[in-house]
Every structure is written in C-alpha cells, then in structure tokens.
C-alpha cells in the first residue's frame, strides 16, 4: 500500500512527495483535519516512503524496510498514542531518550504522535525543546483535528499540512468499489459519514451502527413531545451505547444541523439524514433559527465536556436533553 491508496488528499500528498523529490524534508510536521480523512494513513505512508530503499516518491513495498513496516516491526518508525485521556510527560521523556539514539537501520527515525492535541501542558512544553533542536535524522509528525488545539509555540515549529473532508461522491465510490454496496446504500453511509472515510467504512462493516442511530434519532425527532420519564428512558438507551457516545452526540448534532439548513434554504438536498426528511421538514417549523443554533452549540459544548472532563455521563445527558426539550439552551 502507498499514497495511491489514499482517497481525496491530492494536495497533501503532492506537498509531501515534493519534499521527498527535492530532499527538503522537515523535521516537524503537523497534519490537521477531522478524524477519518486519512491523516494517520498518510503519515505512516510518508514514513515508509522516506525510509524505502528504492528512493522513489512512494514506497516500493518490496525492500527490507517496507517489508518490516508492513509487518509492524520497523524499529525506526514509532507511534505514540494517548495514555488514557492524555499524552503524558513520561511518554515525551521516553521519546526524547529514544530519539537521542541514531536510527537502527534507516536514514530517518520517525515519531508519529496521534491525537497530539491531548498532550498535557507539561508534555507539550517538554516536546517543544525537542522541536527546537531536533537531531538531524529525526522527524516528528503530529496529528490533530485543528492547529488551534495545540500551543502556538508548537505549531510555529511545524510545517502544517491540511487534510480536507472527503466529498460524498468520493466516499460513495470507495464504498461501492471496496464493499460492493449498491449505490443508494453506499451514498446513505457516505452522507452520514460527514466527510470521514473511516466512519463510512465503520458504517459499512457494522450494521448495528445504523440500527443504533435509528433507535436514538427516532426518539430525538419526538423529543419535544416526550414526558420526563420518556426522556430518562432515552438517556438509559444512550448509555447502553456509552462506548459510542461521541458518535451518538455527533448524530444528534447533525440532526439539528439538518433542521437549521432546511429551515434556511427549504432545500432537501442539503439534508444529511435524508431518511428523516419528512420529520425534519415538519420539525423545522417548531424552532426559530436562534433556538436551533443554540441547540447545536449546546450539543457541541456537552460533547467537549464529556471528552475532556470527568463529568458524570448520565447527568450530562439528562440535563442536555431536558434543556433541548424545553428550549432552554
């Protein structure tokens, strides 16, 4: 596998291949873009390509370096992921200790830091010292949704490579070719994926994902008419899928985005949840623009609260749904 397997990220790949071709590879990169658009895959393919023995613009998949990478045991390409909810200073100190040693068998020693926005302040400040004076053989690639989520002192020392969201057509074509789905089924998943190929693939592999979505949205569309007991029952249903809480909140947010988009345009082509088109048309009459915007912002706020704090999940969901129901957000 290589750059040719990437969907829809021609500009980032061209930038990286130009760096290889011109022998102007940076010591620090920041890949930005939403989850599932190819940042991690491209980071690892870039690492594989620049350590490939064939010295081409893409990895050959035949040399000893490529084979070790494909087998998951390349000693000079190292991934760092959050330990629990954050990347801790001990992880960065370990990086600094390892990076002081030259590559075992390749020209470059490459560290790929996933979810770099989760570095705590101590870890970020510690990494900064390495970014300021990296060894000549070292490359550090940070992956994060947005540049703004990292310290300016970090981002200023990185070459920023932006990854865009994929189009519905790009994702649809990929799903048809890879999973042999019918066009309508592939497009449905592509629309729900909101620009993320990874999410679309998850939807294609796991039918329970769609069943869970329908179970929750069937209640959300009737939220204004639910009584208190029914709201609490809905929370219990959501908690049955607490490992999917981020996706559930994203589904709820997108549902209300459909309401505001339709209310403003009267264009059903803009509706993401097109299987709820009739409900969205009717429900849009029950809200003002201001109310819908407030709901969307509030769901985002609760989502960030759940991701980044130890808030009690059940209480947060109960308060959120009651406020939306009563239009008090």
- For the chain, the distance separating the N- and C-terminal CA atoms, rounded to the nearest angstrom, is 48
Do 325 and 223 form a contact (C-beta atoms < 8 A)? yes
Query: Could you tell me what percent of the chain has a pLDDT over 70?
Result: 100
pLDDT at 18: 97
C-alpha span between 247 and 233 (Å, rounded): 19
Q: Mind giving me the DSSP string for 119-145?
A: B-HHHHHHHHHHHHS--TTEEEEEEES
Place of tokens 């010292």: 129
Q: pTM to 2 decimals?
A: 0.79
CATH of domain 3-162: 3.40.50.300
pLDDT at 191: 84
Per-residue pLDDT at 327 exceeds 90: no
Query: Could you tell me what percent of the chain has a pLDDT over 90?
Result: 83
Per-residue pLDDT at 290 exceeds 80: yes
Average pLDDT of every residue of the chain: 94
pLDDT at 315: 95
Band (pLDDT 50/70/90 cuts) for residue 329 is confident
In this predicted structure, which of 70-79, 234-243, 301-310 has the lowest mean pLDDT? Answer: 301-310
Mean pLDDT across the stretch 291-306?
A: 94
pLDDT at 214: 92
159-162 sheet: strands from edge to edge: 77-80, 109-113, 138-144, 28-32, 159-162
Give the SS3 label for residue 236. helix
Mean pLDDT across the stretch 215-219?
A: 96
pLDDT at 139: 98
CATH of domain 207-325: 1.20.272.10
Strand 109-113 versus strand 159-162 pairing type: unpaired
Q: Which two tokens stand for residue 154?
A: 């970090």
Band (pLDDT 50/70/90 cuts) for residue 270 is confident
> What pLDDT digit, counting tens, does each position of 147-196 carry?
999 999 999 999 999 999 999 999 999 999 999 998 888 988 898 888 99
Per-residue pLDDT at 10 exceeds 90: yes
Mean pLDDT across the stretch 131-146?
A: 97
> What pLDDT digit, counting tens, does each position of 62-107 carry?
999 999 999 999 999 999 999 988 999 999 999 999 999 999 999 9
Query: Can you list the positions of beta strands (E) in the chain?
Result: 28-32, 77-80, 109-113, 138-144, 159-162
Mean pLDDT across the stretch 7-15?
A: 97
Question: Where exactly are the structural domains of the chain?
Answer: 3-162, 166-205, 207-325
pLDDT at 274: 86
pLDDT at 41: 97
Give the SS3 label for residue 159. strand
Place of tokens 């057509």: 169
């Amino acid at each position: 596998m290589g750059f040719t397997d990437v969907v829809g990220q021609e500009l980032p790949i061209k930038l990286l291949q130009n760096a290889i071709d011109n022998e102007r590879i940076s010591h620090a990169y920041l890949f930005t873009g939403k989850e599932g658009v190819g940042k991690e895959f491209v980071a690892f393919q870039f690492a594989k390509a620049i350590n490939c023995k064939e010295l081409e613009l893409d990895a050959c998949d035949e040399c000893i370096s490529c084979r070790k990478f494909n087998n998951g045991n390349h000693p000079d390409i190292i991934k760092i992921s959050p330990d629990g909810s954050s990347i801790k200073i001990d992880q960065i100190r370990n990086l600094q200790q390892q990076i002081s040693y030259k590559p075992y068998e390749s020209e470059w020693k490459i560290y790929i830091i996933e979810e770099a926005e989760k570095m705590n302040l101590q870890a970020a400040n510690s990494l900064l010292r390495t970014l300021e004076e990296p060894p000549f053989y070292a490359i550090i690639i940070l992956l994060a949704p947005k540049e703004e989520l990292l310290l300016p002192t970090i981002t200023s020392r990185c070459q920023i490579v932006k990854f865009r969201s994929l189009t519905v057509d790009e994702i649809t074509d990929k799903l048809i070719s890879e999973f042999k789905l019918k066009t309508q089924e592939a497009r449905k998943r592509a629309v729900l994926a909101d620009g993320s190929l990874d999410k679309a693939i998850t939807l294609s592999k796991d039918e329970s994902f769609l069943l869970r979505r329908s179970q929750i949205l069937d209640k959300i569309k009737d939220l204004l008419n639910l009584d208190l007991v029914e709201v609490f029952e809905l929370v219990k249903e959501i908690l049955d899928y607490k490992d999917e809480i981020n996706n559930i909140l994203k589904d709820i947010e997108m549902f209300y985005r459909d309401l505001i988009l339709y209310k403003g345009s009267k264009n059903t082509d803009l509706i993401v949840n097109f299987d709820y088109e009739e409900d969205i048309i009717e429900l849009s009459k029950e809200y003002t623009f201001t109310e819908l915007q407030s709901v969307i912002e509030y769901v985002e706020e609760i989502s960030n609260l759940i991701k980044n704090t130890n808030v009690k999940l059940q209480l947060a969901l109960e308060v959120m749904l009651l406020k939306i129901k009563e239009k008090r957000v």
